[in-house]
Every structure is written in C-alpha cells, then in structure tokens.
A and B are shown apart, each in its own frame.
Chain A
Amino acid sequence: MRWFVALLSGTLFGAGLALSGMMDPARVRGFLDIFGAWDPTLAFVMGGAVIVMAGAWAIQRQMKGPALDETFSLPGTTKLDARLIGGSALFGAGWGLAGLCPGPGIASLSTSPVPAATFVVAMIAGMALYAALPSNRKD
C-alpha cells in the first residue's frame, strides 16, 4: 500500500506538470523573463499547488502520525544560512539557463528523451559532485 501511494503520488505529480505546461522549458523560461514576454502560467501552477498543500498542513497538524507510517519525517531545520541561499542561487541560475527544474526534467524523460536525458545526466553529475565533496561524505 505504501509503495502504491508513492507511485500514485509521483504519477499525479508528473501528470500535473504535463497538464500545466511546465514540461515546456520555453514556458518556464517565460516566467523568469520579466523584462521580455513574461508568461505568468507558473505562478498559477504554484498557487494551485500551495493552496492544496496549505490545507494538507492544516490537516497534518491535527494528526498524530501519517496514515500509512509511524511518524512524520519532516525537515526541522529553521536556520537561514549561506548554503541555503548559495545553493538556491546556483539552482536558480541553472533553472534560467535550461528552463527546467528537477521535476519537469525527470517527467520529460519519456516524452522528450534526448534533451531531457541530457539535462538529467548533467543534473546527476552536479548532485554526485555535491555528494562527493569532503564535507558532505556520509560514508
């Protein structure tokens, strides 16, 4: 049941990205192009998702644990640090260059295999580089 829910959640996420046009890099880039032909579609996508999730957090606060697991496993850090801001700045730059973030890049692997795989392989290289930095080694 937990496996089914994980697959269902991913599938719904991928279909939502597809319907909303977020698997079109030019449309995502259009949202970031505020001095050009700005395309606000991404704001509607984010707005819709945040509305539903705000409701989900309100329900979550009333629950002792999730429906299918023992406890909630949620990030507890609240510190604003240089890693958070620096990492987000690098991510934003890559997002602007390629017009893709991780979700749409992965979800496009079957529909636009060559460019999506190019992006995803480079993304894996970036993630592996981060994991290999001496300060992040967990082995």
Chain B
Amino acid sequence: MILPGFPDAQPVEGLVGGLMIGASAAIMLLGLGRIAGVSGLFVRAIRIEATGTPWAIAALFVAGLVLGGALFAGIAGPMEAHYPPGFGWLIAGGLLVGFGTRLGSGCTSGHGVCGMSRLSPRSLAAVATFIASGMVTVAIVNALGGGW
C-alpha cells in the first residue's frame, strides 16, 4: 500500500511490525512484570550495570532480538538496509546513543513504546526531546552537505 504523498513509506508493514513490537512489550510486562527497554536490558545482559533484572532474562531478550532479525531475514529474504558511508557516522552515533540512553534512562522502546503508552510524563518529555534532537541533527548534517 502506498501512502498518498509519501511513495517510499511502508504504512502497512510499519503498523504490523509495530503491533508485533507492542505484543513483545506486552508479554514482557504482563508475563515478567518488566519494561521491554532495550538499552536497559542490554547493559544488564553485557554486565555493564547491575539493574534489578535477572541476568538470564536480559540476556535471552537481547539474544531474541538478534534471533528475530535473523529469522525474519531467513524467511522473507534479505531486507533493505542502507547504512551511512564509512564508519564515522556509526561510531559517533553509537557513542552518543550509548551514553545518552543511560543518562536519559531509556530509548525508543522503554520511553517510546512502554512509557508513552503509560502516559508517563518523563517518557513523554524524553520522546519529544530525542525526536526533536534527531530532527535538528539531521537538518544540520544535511545543511553542512553531509547527508547520506
């Protein structure tokens, strides 16, 4: 399905994928009583920080993330993935994402999916901030001729 005005958008795949992500977070909440926040579970899985989550739970969730991506690619075939050229964008971006998600206590999954749906004031503020910051960053990079 094509969204009028946005020929490259994938509204149906996006919505269905989003429903799956919501179901994943719902399983985590109602089954295990925890937030499916990727950055928080990841630091626990690789033992950078001692959060309250049992290590096996965090590690298996993170392993599942990799498994889910691999399974989908195995069944549906290779997916489109256009990365920035070289390693500079990935390294700079990764450093900021790693430090920022810990300082800000969450990322797109914890604050975005789990926090916004709970109408948490902290998460609503965090999401507004990181989306605005991302938009400003992309606009600046494009203005400086660094768009990819």
Contact residues of A with B, CB < 8 Å?
2-3, 5-27, 29-30, 32-57, 59-60, 63, 65-75, 77-80, 83-103, 105-112, 115, 118-131, 136, 138
Instruction: Please state if B21 and A77 are interface contacts (CB–CB under 8 Å).
Output: no
Q: How far is the CB of B25 from chain A (nearest CB, A)?
A: 5
Contacts of B87 in A (CB 8 A): 115, 118
1/0 contact trace for B75-106 toward A, CB 8 Å? Answer: 01011111110010111111111111111110
Q: Pick the contact of B11: A30, A44, A90, A127 (CB < 8 A).
A: A44
Contact residues of B with A, CB < 8 Å?
3, 6, 8-11, 13-36, 38-39, 42-43, 46, 48-50, 52-53, 56-58, 60-73, 76, 78-84, 87, 89-105, 107-109, 111-114, 116-118, 120-122, 125-127, 129-139, 141-142, 147-148
Q: Given A19-B16, A93-B133, A94-B92, are A7 and B79 neighbors across the interface (CB < 8 Å)?
A: no
Contacts of A40 in B (CB 8 A): 3, 6, 9, 11
Q: Pick the contact of A101: B49, B64, B97, B103 (CB < 8 A).
A: B97
Q: How far is the CB of B10 from chain A (nearest CB, A)?
A: 5
Known pairs A9-B25, A19-B72, A125-B95 / 4 extra A-B pairs, C-beta < 8 Å: A51-B19, A88-B126, A119-B93, A131-B102
Instruction: Please state if A107 and B66 are interface contacts (CB–CB under 8 Å).
Output: yes
Contacts of B148 in A (CB 8 A): 26, 29
Q: Roughly how many angstroms separate A69 CA and B56 CA in the complex, as a whole number?
A: 14
Instruction: Please state if A16 and B17 are interface contacts (CB–CB under 8 Å).
Output: yes
Identity of the chain B residue whose Cβ is nearest the Cβ of A43 in the assembled complex:
B14
Contacts of A84 in B (CB 8 A): 104-105, 122, 125-126, 129
Q: Roughly how many angstroms separate A86 CA and B65 CA in the complex, as a whole number?
A: 27
Q: Roughly how many angstroms separate A101 CA and B101 CA in the complex, as a whole number?
A: 9
Instruction: Please state if B122 and A80 are interface contacts (CB–CB under 8 Å).
Output: yes
Contacts of B20 in A (CB 8 A): 12-13, 15-16, 19-20
Contacts of B27 in A (CB 8 A): 5, 8-9, 12
Q: Roughly how many angstroms separate A50 CA and B14 CA in the complex, as a whole number?
A: 13
Q: Roughly how many angstroms separate A52 CA and B20 CA in the complex, as a whole number?
A: 9
Contacts of A96 in B (CB 8 A): 93, 133-138, 141
Instruction: Please state if B68 and A12 are interface contacts (CB–CB under 8 Å).
Output: yes
Contacts of B103 in A (CB 8 A): 83, 86-87, 90, 130
